[in-house]
Amino acid sequence: SASAAYWAYLYSHLAMLQIDVAGMSQLVGGPNTPTAGHGPNFPSVTMLDWKTGKPTARWFLLKMLVRAFGNRIKRLVRTKLDAAHLHAQAFEVSENDGSKARKLLLVNKRQEASKVGGPVSGRWLCMESIDGVH
């Protein structure tokens, strides 16, 4: 989902600016109807599908960011990536048990799948993705 990718990209850049909080608009909303009594809610920006009530890619992204970073202390790690269609930002995150974990936020800026590979220093034990097909 382009919307979820946008928010991941934004999260990364807000972290670089040391901004701790951002709002993601509405949880659920649907188009304007005569009986609703209010203006349109723009279903394209909701975290739950207004027809089915199921989570959207935006919701899954928010869940992933909260699980990965939450309110823990984060330190940005210099990140270099030679791919214009990808954005990457590495973090060192202080876990609740006092240990530190390295986490990489990788954002595909295209509307098509991208393969990622190459040398990686350190250990990367887990990978999650949001593909908009939930």
Q: What is the model's pTM? A: 0.78
Residue 134: per-residue pLDDT = 34
User: Is 122 inside a domain boundary?
Assistant: no
- pLDDT tens digits for the chain (134 residues)? 888 899 999 999 999 999 888 887 777 776 666 665 666 677 777 888 888 889 988 899 999 999 998 888 899 999 988 888 999 999 999 988 889 988 989 999 988 888 777 665 566 556 667 664 43
User: Is 84 inside a domain boundary?
Assistant: yes
User: Is 16 inside a domain boundary?
Assistant: yes
Sequence-distant (6+) residues with CB within 8 A of 14 are 22
Domains of the chain: total: 1
Residue 9: per-residue pLDDT = 93
Structure tokens at 112: 């098509």
User: Is 113 inside a domain boundary?
Assistant: no
User: Is 23 inside a domain boundary?
Assistant: yes
User: Is 42 inside a domain boundary?
Assistant: yes
d(CA 107, CA 124): 17
User: Is 131 inside a domain boundary?
Assistant: no
Task: Say which amino acid occupies 116.
Answer: V
In which domain, by residue range, is 56 found? Answer: 2-108
User: Is 102 inside a domain boundary?
Assistant: yes
Residue 133: per-residue pLDDT = 41
